[in-house]
């Protein structure tokens, strides 16, 4: 009885090697001859080794997205530390401001930054990110800014854009919007950077070039969601400054999962000034000096909150990408195993058929 040596059915690439008859004098049937020239099993768009290479590629991509998620988490921690570092100054400023307002009593405070006027031109400060791969973070902010621009245009009010963030800069420059100033956001906004922005905004407002300044930023809600928001930077409201609450978010990890703890801070108590205290300067002048510091702090805070929202969005995007890569790898592995099993079964059937053909 002659036996035919077949290719290894368990080879990684399922390549079929030419079969050699151990007994040269035995005739080989046409079925066995055609089996010798049979090509390897075709699966999907290529051979089984193509699926194996794709599985490897998907797993490598998953490692990258998981690493990017962890990097974003580390940056979120740094961002929240920056917010906590600026809070003592903000609390003291708010306390002094409230005390001065109480000291003035019911007197009308005539300050340029607190005086509302007819709105003919609005400066929109739009804060976006410098990079992508953060889900719909940039798209939502750009959509919010476009809606506000269209609203002002319909009302016949002129506008100008101050763009902070490369993504917003690229988008609005290509579409010919009226842009007054551009600058990158960075991953760690500083007081110096916020001071440069606030000085330019205040100079434009005090000179009469613009009648109001609005901040468009992304308000951090939690790791899953963030909300594009609009707030008026100038003119200010003395009452709103004195009673404004604050929210602090801290990134924590429980059972290996990231979570956020939210703490609401009440407005700082107004500082009490004795009635017999004599101010070297008029309280109104002191208020006029404090307000630019407050505006600078608000610009810094909104930039830090926007960066935190961007990093949280990137964490979610990378987590979703990692989950999708894991699911895709699982499905491809099932396809690969089924293909391998089918190839092995086919090889066994062909061996048995070839042996029977030789016997007959």
Residues with a known catalytic role: 134
3-state secondary structure of 33: helix
Spacing of C-alpha 138 from chain mean position: 8
Can you read off the two tokens belonging to residue 324? 């999708």
How far apart (Å, rounded) are the C-alpha atoms in residues 320 and 315?
A: 9
* CB atoms near residue 7 (< 10 Å): 16
Question: Can you tell me the distance from the alpha carbon of 92 to that of 114, in angstroms, rounded to the nearest whole number?
Answer: 20
For residues 76 and 308, what is the distance between their CA atoms, to the nearest angstrom? 6
β-bridge partners, 20: 5
**CA 215/CA 57 separation, integer angstroms:** 43
Using alpha carbons, list the distances in angstroms from residue 196 to 191, 252, 354. Answer: 9, 33, 84
Contact criterion met (CB below 8 Å) for 113 and 291 = yes
What is the total residue count of the chain?
360
**What gap in Å lies between CA 191 and CA 297, rounded to an integer?**
8
Residues 185 and 307 sit within 8 Å (Cβ to Cβ): yes
Please give the DSSP secondary-structure letter assigned to residue 25: T
């Amino acid at each position: 009885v002659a036996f035919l040596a077949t290719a290894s059915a368990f080879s990684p690439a399922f390549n079929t090697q030419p079969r050699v008859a151990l007994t040269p004098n035995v005739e080989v049937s046409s079925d066995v001859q055609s089996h010798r020239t049979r090509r390897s099993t075709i699966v999907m768009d290529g051979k089984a080794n193509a699926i194996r290479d794709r599985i490897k590629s998907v797993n490598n991509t998953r490692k990258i997205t998981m690493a990017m998620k962890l990097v974003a988490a580390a940056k979120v921690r740094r961002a929240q530390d920056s917010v906590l570092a600026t809070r003592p100054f903000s609390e003291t400023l708010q306390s002094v401001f409230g005390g001065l307002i109480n000291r003035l009593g019911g007197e009308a405070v005539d300050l340029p930054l607190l005086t509302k006027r007819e709105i003919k031109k609005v400066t929109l400060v739009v804060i976006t990110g410098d990079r992508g791969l953060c889900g719909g973070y940039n798209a939502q902010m750009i959509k919010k800014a476009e809606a506000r621009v269209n609203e002002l245009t319909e009302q016949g009010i002129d506008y100008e854009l101050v763009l902070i963030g490369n993504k917003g800069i690229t988008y609005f420059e290509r579409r010919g919007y009226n842009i007054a100033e551009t600058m990158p956001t960075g991953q760690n906004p500083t007081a110096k950077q916020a001071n440069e922005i606030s000085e330019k905004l205040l100079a434009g407002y005090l000179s009469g070039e613009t009648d109001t300044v609005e901040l468009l930023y992304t308000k951090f809600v939690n790791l899953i969601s963030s909300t594009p928001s609009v707030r008026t930077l100038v003119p200010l409201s003395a009452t709103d400054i004195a009673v404004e609450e604050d929210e602090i978010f801290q990134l924590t990890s429980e059972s290996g999962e990231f979570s956020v703890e939210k703490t609401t801070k009440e407005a700082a108590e107004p500082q009490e000034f004795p009635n017999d205290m004599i101010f070297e300067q008029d309280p109104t002048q002191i208020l006029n000096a404090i307000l630019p510091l407050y505006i600078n702090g608000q610009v810094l805070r909104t930039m830090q909150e926007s960066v935190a929202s961007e990093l949280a969005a990137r964490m979610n995007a990378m987590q979703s990408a990692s989950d999708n890569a894991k699911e895709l790898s699982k499905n491809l592995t099932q396809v690969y195993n089924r293909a391998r099993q089918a190839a092995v079964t086919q090889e066994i059937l062909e061996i048995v058929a070839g042996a029977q053909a030789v016997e007959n």
